[in-house]
Amino acid sequence: MAIRQFLDIGSGLPTQKNVHEAAQSVAPGSRTVYVDNDPSVLPHAQALIQGDPQTVYIEADARDYPAVLRHPETARMLDFTKPIAVLLVALVHFIDDSDDPYGVVAGYVDQLCPGSYVILAHVTSDDIDPELGERMFGLNSQLRVPLTYRTKDEAARFFDGLELVGPGVIDLGRWSPDGEVDGPKRKLNSWCGVARKV
Ligand SMILES: C[S@@+](CC[C@H](N)C(=O)[O-])C[C@H]1O[C@@H](n2cnc3c(N)ncnc32)[C@H](O)[C@@H]1O
């Protein structure tokens, strides 16, 4: 069944070709719920989606998945008896091991019906250039919420129980639905994958 519902968690500041725009350009009836806990995202997101009855933005902490899932806007916009694509793109590395990131992702997945999808990208320090690594780790300590770098196996664990589609868990810059895109210049130091709930 085609996906017409999108839950974009850790949506970030709106840029170009946002999820609801891409989805509606293909399927005009698509509905999107954006979630982020950064208050500075709110005015930008609201300006972007103004006048669009099929798109909402909620300010919430992704770690509190019951609150996100039970939010009145989530309930109003998304029908969990039909497939939903959940986007966790460059989000889960902001969830420290002490906050049970695998339990958080499973909390969302558990509510999805078969035919739903999970799209996840996660920063890594696997195979990183040592100089870049030194700079990345140096900057990390200064971030409001430091990143947790995870290995490929650790990133792949987020898809446990799901069926990976396309080329599996690979570098974000190399993922395509038709297989792995070649070329070392595309390395983005993030693992990513797309998986279906069966
Ligand atoms: C690197 S941005 C990614 C934005 C977008 N998904 C993308 O790939 O372009 C990460 C976003 O996750 C949000 N974020 C981090 N921790 C979060 C949390 N616990 N709950 C909700 N949003 C969170 C940040 O505020 C930020 O907007």
Over residues 160-190, the pLDDT tens digits come to: 999 999 999 999 999 999 988 887 666 789 9
* Atom in ligand 1 nearest the alpha carbon of residue 15: 9
Token pair of 133, please? 């690594």
Q: Which helix (H) or strand (E) holds 92?
A: none
- How many Å lie between the centroid of ligand 1 and the Cα of residue 27? 25
pLDDT digits (tens, 9 = 90+) for 115-159: 999 999 999 999 888 998 899 889 998 988 899 999 999 999 999
Task: Go through the domains of the chain in sequence order and give each one's CATH number.
Answer: 5-196 (3.40.50.150)
SS3 labels along 162-190: CEEEEEEEEEHHHCCCCCCCCCHHHCCCE
Token pair of 72, please? 């009145």
The answer to whether the CB of 14 falls within 8 A of the CB of 44 is yes
Return d(Cα 192, Cα 173) in angstroms, integer.
Answer: 9
Pick the residue whose CA is nearest to atom 26 on ligand 1. 12
Return d(Cα 162, Cα 195) in angstroms, integer.
Answer: 6
Pocket of ligand 1 (CB under 6 A): 10-12, 35-38, 41, 61-63, 89-91, 94, 145
| Residue 77 pLDDT class (50, 70, 90 cuts) | very high
Return d(Cα 35, Cα 40) in angstroms, integer.
Answer: 13
Over residues 108-117, the mean pLDDT reads 98
* Atom in ligand 1 nearest the alpha carbon of residue 41: 27
Q: What percent of the chain is modeled with pLDDT above 70? A: 98
User: By three-state DSSP, how is residue 87 classified?
Assistant: strand
Q: Which helix (H) or strand (E) holds 97?
A: none
Over residues 53-60, the mean pLDDT reads 96
- Between vectors from CA 118 to CA 100 and to CA 189, what angle results, nearest 5°? 75
The partner residues of 163 in beta bridges, in order of sequence, read 196
